[in-house]
Amino acid sequence: MRKVLQKYGRRGFKMTPQRIAILEYLEGSDNHPSAEDIFRDVKKRYPTVSFATVYNTIEALKKRKEIVEITIDPERKHYEPNINPHHHIVCIICKKIGDVFADYSTALRLPAEVEQEFIATGNHVHFFGICKNCRS
């Protein structure tokens, strides 16, 4: 809520109750929800919300660079409100996604052969591991 709710008083992006609920859910915890996660949560307060609204809002927020789409789960897309570039770690058991704030850029040099083919403009590290909960 905070950030985005302030930013868009009303202009260009209408702050409807559903959208507020979506933003609050997205910014309310350190989760990385899928569209369905968002849908389920918003439905608690607005039992008539539709997937169309959720996806519409996601699309509008992506376009405005207020949220980021994460491609880390082969089955579905996930979203997060944290715009600062960072990395992720995924529990291989429960699939929980954690944030990793660190800048590895200086270490992540491309091998020479690859540099002949590509100019790198960014990077994202996907760690996998086991979370505290799943260690038992």
Partner DNA sequence: GTCCATGCAAACGATTTGCAGAGTT
Partner DNA sequence: AACTCTGCAAATCGTTTGCATGGAC
Binding site for DNA (CB under 7 A): 10, 13-14, 16, 18-19, 34-36, 46, 48-53, 55-60, 75-77
Q: Per DSSP, what are the bridge partners of residue 59? A: none
Structure tokens at 114: 């690859």
Residue closer to DNA (CB basis): 55 or 104: 55
Instruction: For residue 67, give Cα distances in angstroms to 63, 64, 78, 133.
Output: 9, 8, 10, 27
Stretch that binds a copy of itself, among 9-17, 37-45, 46-54, 84-92 (CB under 8 A): 84-92
Q: Coil, strand or helix: which one is 105? A: coil
Nearest approach in angstroms of CB 27 to DNA is 16
Residue closer to DNA (CB basis): 61 or 89: 61
Residue closer to DNA (CB basis): 49 or 89: 49
Residue closer to a copy of itself (CB basis): 24 or 99: 99
Look up residue 34 and give its DSSP letter.
B
Nearest approach in angstroms of CB 103 to DNA is 28
Decide which of DNA, a copy of itself, none touches 53; Cβ closer than 5 to 8 Å per partner kind: DNA
User: Is residue 100 a contact point for a copy of itself (CB under 8 A)?
Assistant: yes
Distance CA 70, CA 79 (A): 6
Which helix (H) or strand (E) element contains residue 100? strand 97-100
Is the CB of residue 38 less than 8 Å from the CB of residue 25? yes
